[in-house]
A and B are shown apart, each in its own frame.
Chain A
Amino acid sequence: MSPSVVGADLAVRDLVIEYSSGGYPVRPIDGLSLDAAGGDLVLLLGASGCGKTTLLSVLAAILTPTSGTARVAGVDVVNLRGPALTSYRRKTVGVVFQAFNLVPSLSALENVMVPLRGAGARRRVAHDRATELLERVDLQHRLHHRPAEMSGGQQQRVAIARALAHDPPVVLADEPTAHLDYIQVDGVLKLIRELADDGRLVVVATHDERMIPLADKVVNLTPRADTSPREPVKIELAAGQEVFTQGDRGDLVYVVETGEIEILRTRDDGAEDHVATVDAGSYFGELAPMFGLQRSATARAVGPTTLTGYGLRDFREKFHLTNEAKIIAQAAD
């Protein structure tokens, strides 16, 4: 059951993905580069909205990035069109979608047969191949069951079998452990690890850190908050000068000493929406460093303005934001 195509390497360079969300430009992936080889299990780790699924969509040749390159198994996925695109989706990558995405009207066997029949395989050939794959994921006793008649773990295994229909050298899995209980997770994780052990490149998008021990490589798409001590920074701005721009990464929280800062959000068409005005004694820009997010707005001086930029730790101390949620129960070890 090893993949028929060798050289399942992944090379991503300076990848930028920007799209519109609610009228505002969003850039979840900004200048990402990474490499992986066949046999690697790569985890794309991060919180919701950090761009994990977006990156998988690019690798699956479903989404075209704004800029940068992505080569998967020697194929430039950014510029794929027409038959080459269809061939790539059929033969080079197999995708395990979040929430399984099985067709409810089809049995397990038929769900696995779909990509084969869609590629022109004869019924008997598709039937035999689908049976073999379902046996491989221990579902030989569920061949003729519909998704609604199977557990989440079984459905996920059908989805994995479907992704393997064309024996692709690369498998992409989106949140494969979501919707599963711990018993079901166990089987699915083993299966995913085995896929990589067979020589495939397996890229998994997840926020489930329990998967880290399984991985060969981890790409953390959500930068951790920098709580290391650092010297406060004094900043003097002229009228109209920007402190930071929407979409920037940021590690400082700003306190206005004198003057005023206007917070603006830029729309797709370049127009700016006024969000707030921050005056002396108030602070702004705390969410991006706290949660590893990009700046969601632009901060601009209204007139001559003086700021102090604090690291997260100093900011918390200065404003007495050190309270942490109390843990009121703990699972047994």
Chain B
Amino acid sequence: MLFVSLRDLQWRRRRFIIGVLAAGLVFAMTLLISGVSASFGHEIKQSVAAFGADAWIIPSDVSGPFTSARVFPAAEAQQIAALPGVTGAEPVLLMRSSVKTTSVHDINVVGIPTGGIIAPKLADGHQLSAPGDLIVDKTLHVKLGTTLHVFGRDFTVVGRTSGLTYFAGIPVAWVRLGDLQAGAVNGAPVATTVVVRGTVTSPPAGFLSISNAAVRHDLGRPMRKATSTIGFINLLLWFVAAGIIGSLLYLQAIERSRDFAVFKATGVTTRTLLWGLAFQAIALALSAAIAAYILSIFLAPAMSVPIVIPKSAYILLPVVAIVVGLISSIIPLRRAVTVDPALAFG
């Protein structure tokens, strides 16, 4: 009897297509929002890994290297490098600034020693080698050779990274440690963290050693409220999708009341009718899921924050879509069940 439901969908194909597009757009929004939420974790993972650290040394009264700007003498790095188990240690100064290209953009500025253990992976250009050199992420949309004015100094873009951002898509700009000290702290030889290769069993007094995982956790903390809000909005969007599918099917059930009455009067069981309506709900939801895949491909590049749609979201979408479709068909199903076959004689 599924052929009856299929024919009905074909018969009302314009409405079906509108429903698929509307629900598909909502599903696409859930995919994109999931992508935004996932991108927060992804960018943190990428950016922390770019330092190539085994451990991070920070003042013991701060929670992490990226979320506090507590400075200490950069010379601490030499003492740390001498600790047993440590194969390398470099001072890093982390600051926030803004830069004007076609418009004003925030950037995360990282001051690192040149020729040391920290060398971000480049998409193009070369590593920092001379004063005034700057490496920046492609998300800032500047070309190699562009001059950027940062902390009162002119820098030339000599290299570009790909996907190194944090704090929701703010690109990382790498400069020589001395350049950043000169521009941001009047030349004071200070750092905010020490990146360590090897293991630190006993950090110097007033400092503590934290792992990459702890750094990622701390860096994700400011985004946590945003992430939970996004999750809630995602849930609301599922309800919107359920509403679209449900109202469409309810309208269908109202219009088909006489058909249902005739079916019942000719001995078609209520269960068979329910399967037919459930089939329509699933067909609508799955078609919307396919539309969502396609829409998300086209919409993702238009978003101003990097979108990383997790594979799990792609796999989960059709499953959730079916559940949404079935839940939203409860009221239309109820309507079909209560149709009086006597209506066929009306």
Contact = CB atoms under 8 A, between A and B. Distances in A.
A307 interface: no
Contacts of B3: 110, 117
Nearest to B268: A118
Contact of A62 (B1, B268, B272, B344): B344
Given A104-B11, A118-B268, A119-B267, A174 B1 contact: no
A114 B268 contact: yes
Contact of A114 (B4, B12, B258): B4
A208 to B, nearest CB: 17
A98 interface: yes
Given A103-B259, A104-B11, A105-B11, A114 B345 contact: no
Contacts of B262: 97, 101, 103
B342 to A, nearest CB: 5
A98 B269 CA distance: 22
Contact of B258 (A62, A101, A105, A119): A101
Contacts of B266: 89-90, 94-95, 114-115, 118, 162, 165
B341 interface: yes
A62 B345 contact: yes
A311 B264 CA distance: 47
B261 to A, nearest CB: 8
Interface string B42-73: 00000000000000000000000000000000
A174 B268 contact: no
A170 interface: no
B265 interface: yes
What range describes how many residues of A lie at the interface? 20 to 34
B207 interface: no
A248 to B, nearest CB: 26
A88 B267 CA distance: 8
A195 interface: no
Contacts of A86: 267, 269
Contacts of B258: 101
Given A105-B8, A110-B7, A118 B345 contact: no
A101 B344 contact: yes
Contacts of B341: 62
Between B4, B262, B267, the greatest number of chain A beta carbons within 10 A of the residue's beta carbon is seen for: B267
A234 to B, nearest CB: 45
Interface in A67-89: 86-89
A107 to B, nearest CB: 8
A198 B200 CA distance: 100
Contacts of A297: none
B263 interface: yes
Interface string B1-19: 1011001101110000000
Nearest to A92: B267
A233 interface: no
B255 to A, nearest CB: 10
Contacts of A119: 267-268
Interface in A26-63: 53, 56-57, 60, 62-63
A105 B10 contact: yes
Interface string B154-192: 000000000000000000000000000000000000000
The 5 closest A-B CB pairs, nearest first, are: A90-B267, A105-B11, A118-B268, A89-B267, A115-B266
Interface of A: 53, 56-57, 60, 62-63, 86-91, 94-95, 97-98, 101, 103-106, 110, 114-115, 117-119, 162, 165-166, 174
25 contacts: A57-B342, A57-B345, A60-B265, A60-B345, A62-B342, A86-B267, A87-B267, A89-B264, A89-B266, A89-B267, A91-B267, A95-B265, A95-B266, A97-B265, A101-B258, A105-B7, A105-B8, A114-B266, A115-B266, A115-B268, A117-B1, A118-B268, A118-B272, A166-B267, A174-B345
Given A53-B345, A114-B1, 16 more contacts: A62-B265, A86-B269, A89-B264, A94-B266, A95-B266, A97-B345, A98-B345, A103-B4, A103-B259, A105-B7, A117-B3, A118-B266, A118-B267, A118-B268, A119-B267, A174-B345
